[in-house]
Amino acid sequence: MVEQSKEIKLNRREKAKKKKLRRRKIFLLTLAITIALISLYFFNVYRIKQKLNSSDTALKYYMVDSNDSKLTRIDNSELIFSHEDKSIYNVFGINEDEEFKMFEVCLKKNNSKWNIDYLKDIK
């Protein structure tokens, strides 16, 4: 009888240890995932801020006219791209209704001049 009660106590202790270990693993896994997601979020925010602040992505200052499919620089400076034949950009711009929106612009090079191939809203 005494031996059986000792075995039962041992089994309970082992089950409690396993349960505690399982909880600890779940907690650590959740913590790791949370840290990874927060890091990814801040990395993306940092990357977007870097793109917006760099001179190559000064497209945020463009007036976007989706009816005529054209970009007009607000400060009237020239639009220069140093890429190959075709490039797709996500552009922060102002549409006809003076709303600040994001657009996808595909530019195509024709006779060393950049023309808009298509322009569409990103919802």
pLDDT at residue 76 in the model:
39
Tell me how far apart the alpha carbons of residues 35 and 83 are, in angstroms, rounded to a whole number: 36
Going by C-alpha positions, the residue among 73, 72, 122 that lies closest to residue 102 is 122
123 residues of the chain, pLDDT tens digit each: 777 887 888 888 899 999 999 999 999 999 999 999 998 888 877 776 666 555 444 444 454 444 445 555 544 344 444 444 456 666 666 555 666 666 666 767 677 666 666 666 666
E strand or H helix that includes residue 94: strand 86-94
pLDDT of the residue at 25: 96
Residues 6+ apart with CB under 8 A from 24: none
Q: Cα–Cα distances in Å, from 95 out to 83, 101, 107, 121?
A: 25, 7, 18, 10
The pLDDT of residue 117: 66
H helix or E strand, kind and range, residue 101:
strand 100-110
Specify the pLDDT at position 55: 47
Pairing mode, strands 70-73 and 62-65:
antiparallel
The pLDDT of residue 43 is: 83
